[in-house]
Amino acid sequence: MNIRTDIILRVYIAFGLIVLLAFAVLFKLFHLQFTQGEKWRAMADSLSTKYVDVEAVRGNIYSADGSLLATSVPEYELRMDVVAGGIEKDKIFYEKVDSLAEKLSVFFGDKSKRQYSRMLREARRDRSRYLLIKRKVTHQELAAIKKFPIFNLGRYKGGLIAIQKNKRILPFRTLAARTIGYKNENVQPVGLEGAYASYIDGQSGRRLVQRIAGGVWMPVNKDIEIAPKDGADIISTIDINMQDVAQNALRKQLIKSKAAHGCVILMEVATGEVKAIANFTKVGEGVYEEKFNYAIAQSAEPGSTFKLASYLALLEDRKVDTNSLVDCEGGTWKIFRKTIRDSHEGNEVLTVKRAFEESSNVAIAKLVYQHYKDNPSKFTDHLYNLHLNEKLGLQIPGEGSPLVKTPESRFWSGLSLPQMAYGYEMKMTPLQMLAFYNAIANDGKLLAPVFVREIRRLGNTVESFGARVIEDKICSEETLKKLQGMLEGVVENGSGKTFVKNPLYRIAGKTGTAQIANGAAGYRLKRSYQASFCGYFPADNPKYSMIVVLTDPKGAYYASSVAGPVFREVADKIYANDMEMYNPVQDIKYVGNTKMPPSKAGYKHSTQKVYRALGVKAFFAANSDFVNVVDTNNGVSVKEVKLIPQSVPDVTGMGLKDAVYLLASAGLKPLVKGSGRVVKQSLDPGSRIVKGYPVTIELK
């Protein structure tokens, strides 16, 4: 083969390979374009653009009096399009960039002017459309930032991009925090936030975003494509003032007793509405926080508060009467190698009523065992008829399961009947026990506790919740009256006399001191106790029922001295602030020129309430919320207290509460001398206010 032929052969081979490669490329292009085109186009779209959810503003949670318990406030992530329409020309951008950098530096204080300037200039060089400026910016801060150089060119021209995120806050912080609850991703929902999430959450919107350099997703359009729908509001039954009273009283006693944890529940008798619920856990010496909702979730042996159910069974079956006698054996009684003891030894023969007042374990254990040992199911049937074995079906999650044995139960023994009689070998939550006592106060009607009154959307009621009746009558009227008398006797003459009794109004209730088991060690290694008091007030016309439980108090552990003071403090403060619980005011008649009852100047609605209760004609035409009362001999009228912005208010004649409120609201620092009503103030009414300036008020 000559050289020419060899060269031509090589050229043909090379050309053939090129042609084959070209056909292979064309084939692959055809395959990708037409056979797999849809697949790759979809993948390309998903990598460059996508729709993301836009969180809706969650609904608010309100207390019964309209106070805001939980709300969402907007929080913003600030970014900047450094090549936006208003700053496309370099001249405009570079003329104002240093001024913007200085403003940002002074406002946030996290970078120097030079650092901000360099960051903005580098972003301009890179033609960034989504430069991060700051995270977690409040709405008020955003309003100020919009006035900065460049940003003040307008929404689209200035390049400012504010991405709203919603932050959940509790305005009253720890008040009822565990009941309000929370709803977080990958966490079991808690409280009202979790139970009513489907209403509160609203409906998420949709927004188209595009991937840009650095893997950041940037909104394609300034406006959201599908706007979110805000959540509905929840109106709870919690009374913020009662909640505050309950938490403070409980915390104070927990610190004093050095207890492990405790709870208080306050319920309205007629409706079952929970007005306050407090739970505290010890987290350090003298430090308690809300960590767990013991009130609704912790099932434990109730102890002596359960004796009320045992006596109900005995009275209902006519096994005993309140004046029946029982031998308490000096305070100790041995049965099946088990010695049952009273808290105070020496009890001999007592009436049933007196045995209940003294909280004798021996008395109730003997009575129940004597009358039901041959037919224990008759006793446990009563407990089941009282629904003590059932959950209450609460509006919030996490209710603990009660345990009430029957003779068919696996761990039933000869000791079960006498021990159940005084609250052992069973489990109940504090709220389940309170619901039973509330039924005694409510003339036998057993109600499920209510936490939510209604759900509203845009001010309109979506759903409302009233009292849910579990049982119309848990026992006969005769038994009910006897039990009510026995509960009053505990406070008047028995174990609750020293720490619970109040001479101004009557309280009915029962102490309960129970030894609690310590895990697998049971009752042997360490003696731990649970102290509780459950009852209602005022006893002659019950309006509120309440239970107080403290676990593992150190030192004194009897319920009367540990739980009783908390009950008394909460009841006293609620009674003092609720005029509806006082005895009805007798009609007062005024003859001739008799002067009307004197009234302090102050909050108009409080004055209205007092005069309405007294039956006095009062004319309240004033527009202001604060008034001075004028006696007209034929009734009363009011003179408006004018509040002028930036001027010292006139608080002469007012009580301390209203005077301090007005002065502090105006930005002054009140200093108080004396008591009664204000007769003199150091700053003249109407003079210009200097924020934080002290003002002395004298009261007589």
- Which two tokens mark 255? 């610190």
Q: Tell me, what's the pLDDT at 317? A: 97
Instruction: Kindly report which listed range (435-444, 538-547, 678-687) carries the lowest average pLDDT score.
Output: 678-687
Q: Long-range contact list for 342-346, CB < 8 A, 24+ apart?
A: 343/513, 343/558
Q: Provide mean pLDDT across the span 586-605.
A: 54
Angle at 11 between CA 10 and CA 14, to 5 degrees: 85
- pLDDT tens sequence across 493-549: 999 999 999 999 999 999 999 988 765 555 555 678 999 999 999 999 999 999 999
Buried/exposed 450-467: b ≥16 CB within 10 Å, e otherwise:
bbbbbbbbeeeeeeeeee
> Cis bond leading into 228, ω under 30°?
no
Neighbouring CB atoms inside 10 A of 172's CB total 17
Whether the predicted pLDDT of 616 surpasses 70: no
Angle at 470 between CA 467 and CA 473, to 5 degrees: 105
Q: Provide mean pLDDT across the span 576-585.
A: 68
Q: Provide mean pLDDT across the span 256-281.
A: 97
Q: Provide mean pLDDT across the span 607-635.
A: 59
Whether the predicted pLDDT of 147 surpasses 70: yes
Q: Tell me, what's the pLDDT at 58? A: 86
Q: How many residues does the chain have?
A: 700
* Helix (H), strand (E) at residue 623: none
For residues 77 and 150, the answer to whether their CB atoms sit within 8 Å is no
Instruction: Kindly report which listed range (16-20, 65-69, 267-271) carries the lowest average pLDDT score.
Output: 16-20
Neighbouring CB atoms inside 10 A of 24's CB total 10
For residues 328 and 557, the answer to whether their CB atoms sit within 8 Å is no
Q: Tell me, what's the pLDDT at 523? A: 54
Q: Provide mean pLDDT across the span 125-149.
A: 91
**pLDDT-based confidence at residue 593 (cuts at 50, 70, 90):** very low
Q: What's the rounded Cα separation, in Å, for the pair 123 and 80?
A: 9
Q: Tell me, what's the pLDDT at 584? A: 47
Q: Tell me, what's the pLDDT at 38? A: 67
Whether the predicted pLDDT of 196 surpasses 80: yes
For residues 67 and 172, the answer to whether their CB atoms sit within 8 Å is yes
What DSSP state is assigned to residue 331?
G
For residues 75 and 138, the answer to whether their CB atoms sit within 8 Å is yes
Helix (H, G, I), strand (E, B) or coil at 637: strand
User: What type of residue is 572?
Assistant: D
For the ranges 25-39, 126-140, 272-286, the maximum mean pLDDT occurs at 272-286
Q: Provide mean pLDDT across the span 90-99.
A: 91
| 602-699 classified as CATH 3.30.10.20 | yes
With tokens 């912005």, the residue in question is: 645
Q: Tell me, what's the pLDDT at 250? A: 97
Angle at 496 between CA 492 and CA 501, to 5 degrees: 55
Return all residues near 186 (Cβ < 8 A) that are at least 6 apart: none
Q: Tell me, what's the pLDDT at 343? A: 81
**What is the full DSSP assignment across 406-474?**
-TTSTT--TTHHHHHHTT-SEEB-HHHHHHHHHHHHTTT-EEE-B-EEEEEETTEEEEE---EEEES-S
CA 113 to the chain's CA centroid: 45
Q: Tell me, what's the pLDDT at 195? A: 87
Instruction: Kindly report which listed range (453-462, 619-628, 686-695) carries the lowest average pLDDT score.
Output: 619-628
For the ranges 39-48, 166-175, 358-367, 590-599, the maximum mean pLDDT occurs at 358-367
Q: Tell me, what's the pLDDT at 116? A: 95
Whether the predicted pLDDT of 374 surpasses 60: yes
Whether the predicted pLDDT of 410 surpasses 80: yes
Q: Tell me, what's the pLDDT at 585? A: 44
Calculate the average pLDDT of the chain: 86
Q: Long-range contact list for 33-36, CB < 8 A, 24+ apart?
A: none
What DSSP state is assigned to residue 375?
-
High-pLDDT (> 90) share of the chain, %? 53
Q: Tell me, what's the pLDDT at 542? A: 96
Q: Tell me, what's the pLDDT at 599? A: 63
Which class is domain 52-236? alpha beta
Q: Tell me, what's the pLDDT at 204? A: 79
pTM of the model: 0.72
From the number of C-beta atoms within 10 Å of its C-beta (0-12, 13-18, 19+), residue 16 rates as: exposed
Q: What's the rounded Cα separation, in Å, for the pair 608 and 619?
A: 9
Whether the predicted pLDDT of 632 surpasses 50: no
Parallel, antiparallel, or unpaired for β 426-427 and 403-404? antiparallel
For residues 508 and 490, the answer to whether their CB atoms sit within 8 Å is yes
With tokens 């003997």, the residue in question is: 366
- Each domain of the chain, given as residue ranges in start order, spans 3-35, 52-236, 252-262+302-442+476-578, 602-699
Q: Tell me, what's the pLDDT at 79? A: 92
Q: Tell me, what's the pLDDT at 216? A: 64
- pLDDT tens sequence across 294-340: 999 999 999 999 999 999 999 999 999 999 999 999 999 999 889 99
252-262+302-442+476-578 CATH choice from 3.40.710.10, 3.40.190.10, 3.40.1180.10, 2.30.38.10: 3.40.710.10
Instruction: Kindly report which listed range (159-173, 344-358, 607-621, 665-679) carries the lowest average pLDDT score.
Output: 607-621
Whether the predicted pLDDT of 394 surpasses 80: yes
The beta strand positions in 101-141, using DSSP E, are 131-138
Q: Taking Cα atoms as reference points, which of 264, 256, 179 lies closest to residue 549?
A: 264
